[in-house]
Amino acid sequence: MKKKQSYENLPVWTESLDLVKSIYVLTSVFPEDEDHLFPKKLHKNVIEIPINIAKAMSEEEERQSYFNQASLHISEIETILTICQKLNFFEEKDIEKVKEQLTKISENLKTLIHRLNR
């Protein structure tokens, strides 16, 4: 029987926790006169990334599905940030930092999936 790998030791999981913090910091300066639709969507999606990675590592039969969900949440965050950027809700430098984190997580997630599928 294969030993389950702990998600807590995965760099992609800890990076996704760092992303959660970055998104919450970024949205804390969201204009108050705007509807809070964007911050709520960002919060919902960013929290799902480490959750789905943890689920993937805990349930081998559903692993690919959970990894796919994590990837979808990354895409949703990237899209929401692009919309917010076009609406000038955030400083470009702040969004770029978060987008770099998203790219790194996405790449590391693909690497992990490839490694586990061998």
> Tens digit of pLDDT for each residue in 87-107?
988 888 889 999 999 999 999
Query: What are the two backbone dihedrals, phi and then psi, of residue 26, each rounded to the nearest 5 degrees?
Result: -60, -45
Radius of gyration for the alpha carbons in the chain, expressed in angstroms and rounded:
15
What confidence score (pLDDT) does residue 1 get? 38
Mean of all residue pLDDT scores within the chain: 91
- Please report the domains of the chain, with CATH numbers, ordered by start residue: 7-116 (1.20.1440.60)
What confidence score (pLDDT) does residue 4 get? 57
What pTM was estimated for this model as a whole? Answer: 0.91
Residue 54 structure tokens: 């943890």
Q: Which residues touch 5 (CB under 8 Å, ≥6 apart)?
A: 57
What confidence score (pLDDT) does residue 72 get? 98
Residue 61 structure tokens: 């039969």
Residue 84 structure tokens: 């917010």
- Over range 74-94, report the average pLDDT: 92
